C-alpha cells in the first residue's frame, strides 16, 4: 500500500546524529520528517512529526498517487536583544513524499494537526476491501459426460 520514495532519509538522519549539526531545510533541498504508517481497519493512517510548526505552514498535495507533505518551521521571534546560546532544533523546510498504492482512495484523504503531529487518513478503496465471491453450481444441460 505504501512505498518509500526517499532512500536517503535514514542516511541523512544518521549523518545528522553523528555530526550533531541540525540541518536547515530549504525549498529546493528540504529535510525529511519522521513518519509512522499503519493500516487501521478500512483506512490507512500516516502520522508525521512536526513539532513547532504552525498549521498554516503545512501543505499537503496528492498527484498520481504520490502524497507530498511540506512544512516550514520558522525561528521564534525573540526580538533584537536575544543571542543564541544553544540551537539544536532544526529549522527550515521539511518534506516527505510517499507513493500510495492503487488500493487507497486518494479522493477522500483527511488530515488533522494536533500537538505537533499531522495525522493523514486515507480510506481503503472499495475495490481493495475483502469480499466474498459466490460460487455458482454447474447446470446440467442434458450433455453426456464422458469418463475414461
Q: Which of 130, 132, 120, 131 is nearest to 43 (CA)?
A: 120
| pLDDT of 147 strictly over 80 | no
**pLDDT, tens only, 5-44:** 555 555 655 665 565 545 566 656 677 888 999 999 999 9
Q: Which of 103, 106, 21, 105 is nearest to 62 (CA)?
A: 106
The reply to whether CATH 2.130.10.30 applies to domain 37-75+89-127 is: no
**pLDDT, tens only, 43-56:** 999 999 999 899 99
Q: Beta partners for 38?
A: 45
Start-to-end CA distance of the chain, whole Å, equals 48
| pLDDT of 142 strictly over 70 | no
- Tell me 79's DSSP state: -
What are the residue ranges spanned by the domains of the chain? 37-75+89-127
**pLDDT, tens only, 33-45:** 889 999 999 999 9
> Whole-angstrom Cα distance, residue 133 to residue 25?
51
Amino acid at each position: 500500500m505504501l512505498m518509500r520514495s526517499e532512500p536517503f532519509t535514514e542516511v541523512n538522519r544518521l549523518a545528522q546524529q553523528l555530526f550533531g549539526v541540525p540541518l536547515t531545510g530549504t525549498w529546493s533541498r528540504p529535510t525529511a520528517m519522521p513518519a509512522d504508517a499503519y493500516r487501521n481497519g478500512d483506512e490507512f493512517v500516516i502520522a508525521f512529526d512536526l513539532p513547532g510548526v504552525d498549521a498554516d505552514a503545512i501543505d499537503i498535495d496528492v498527484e498520481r498517487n504520490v502524497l507530498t507533505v511540506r512544512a516550514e518551521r520558522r525561528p521564534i521571534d525573540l526580538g533584537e536583544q536575544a543571542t543564541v546560546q544553544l540551537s539544536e532544533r532544526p529549522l527550515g523546510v521539511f518534506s516527505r513524499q510517499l507513493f500510495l498504492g492503487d488500493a487507497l482512495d486518494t479522493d477522500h484523504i483527511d488530515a488533522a494537526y494536533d500537538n505537533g503531529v499531522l495525522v493523514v487518513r486515507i480510506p481503503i478503496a472499495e475495490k481493495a476491501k475483502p469480499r466474498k465471491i459466490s460460487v455458482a453450481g454447474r447446470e446440467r444441460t442434458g450433455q453426456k459426460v464422458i469418463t475414461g
